Amino acid sequence: MQTVDWVQWLAFGILTLLTIGSALAVVIDRNIFHSALWLLVSLFGVAGLFVMLSAPFLAAVQVLVYMGAIVILIIFAIMLTRRLMGLTEALNTQWWVGGITAIVTFLVIAFVLFQAGQGANPILVREPIAALNGRGVEELGKALVDPAQYALPFELASVLLTAALIGSIVIAREDQ
């Protein structure tokens, strides 16, 4: 349908600009608190992209966990370790190492995505989930508990969460 086409392109364009632009602002902005807020905007852009990929569940999870919990945690961590309203240096002395790593990573990911787009790599080709049209969450739920599919990672995630909680409590209470 014509509507869907240019509306989707417009939405994709806006979301991409939002995500990449605010990601740039995270590293460029001197005020570290503002960087955390630009991160918030960038994560919101990612949530929008999830919606465009017909994964509304992941979008809602992104907003709930990343924007609603992790950014708050990051802000708390900033408050815990930094003086308020201080400005930080834009670059440190090893910026060229970081630059090379970033470019190499970008090339690798671009190569993989290009291959996936062409259908060359069988691991990366999947059925379109848009066909599920709203039943995606139930399929995900069934896959998560199915012993033949993702039941073990599911339980291991629980172990990971428990370990994270116990670890953070140990570290936080250490200085008391």
Partner 1 sequence: MIEALVNLGWNPHIATFVALLLGVVACASFGLIWFTVIGLWLVRKVAARVQDRMGPNRVGPFGLFQVFADLGKMITKEDITPQGADKPIFNIAPLLAIAAVVLIWAVMPFAKTLIGADLSVGALYFISVASLGTLGVLLAGWSSNNKYALIGALRAVAALVSYEVPMVISILVPVLLAGTMSMNGIVEAQHIFYIFAVPLSAFVFFTSNLGETGRAPFDVIEAESELVAGYNIEYTGIKFGMFQAAEFVHSFTSCALMAVLFVGGWRGPGAELPGLAGALFGFIYFFSKSMVIYMLLLWIGNTVPRLRIDQMMAFNWKFLVPLQLVNLLAVAFVAKILQPNYEAVRATAESGSTLGNIYRVFGPEFIADLPRAIALLIVNVIILGGVGLMIRNSIRKERASVEANRAARPPYLGRRTPVEQPAVGD
Partner 2 sequence: MQQVNEWLFIGIFFAISWALPAAPILIGGVLGPKRANRLKRETYECGIETVGDAWVQFKVQYYLYAIVFLIFDVEAVFLFPWAAAYNQLGLYAFFEMLIFVGLLGVALLYAWRKGALEWT
Chain residues that interact with partner 1, rule: CB under 8 A: 2-3, 7, 33-34, 37, 40, 56-57, 59-61, 63-64, 67-69, 71-72, 75, 79, 85, 134-138
Of the CA atoms within 13 Å of residue 134, those in its CB half-sphere come to 0
**Binding letters toward partner 2, positions 79-98, x by CB under 8 A:** xx--xxx-------------
Cα–Cα distance, 101 to 107 (Å, whole number): 10
17 binds partner 2 (CB under 8 A): no
Q: Which of residues 104-143 bind partner 2 (CB under 8 A)?
A: 130, 133-134, 137-142
Q: Is 89 helix (H, G, I), strand (E, B) or coil?
A: coil
Report, in angstroms and rounded to the nearest whole number, the Rg of the chain calculated over CA atoms: 20
CA dihedral 50, 54, 58, 60 (to 10 degrees): 90
| Measured CA distances, 133 to 46, 136, 146 (Å) | 20, 7, 22
- Work out how close the CB of 147 gets to partner 1 at its nearest, in angstroms, rounded to a whole number: 17
Site residues for partner 2 per CB under 8 A: 1, 4, 7-8, 11, 48, 51, 54, 56-57, 61, 64-65, 68-70, 72-73, 76-77, 79-80, 83-85, 130, 133-134, 137-142, 144-145, 147, 151, 154-155, 157-159, 161-162, 164-166, 168-169, 172-173, 175-176
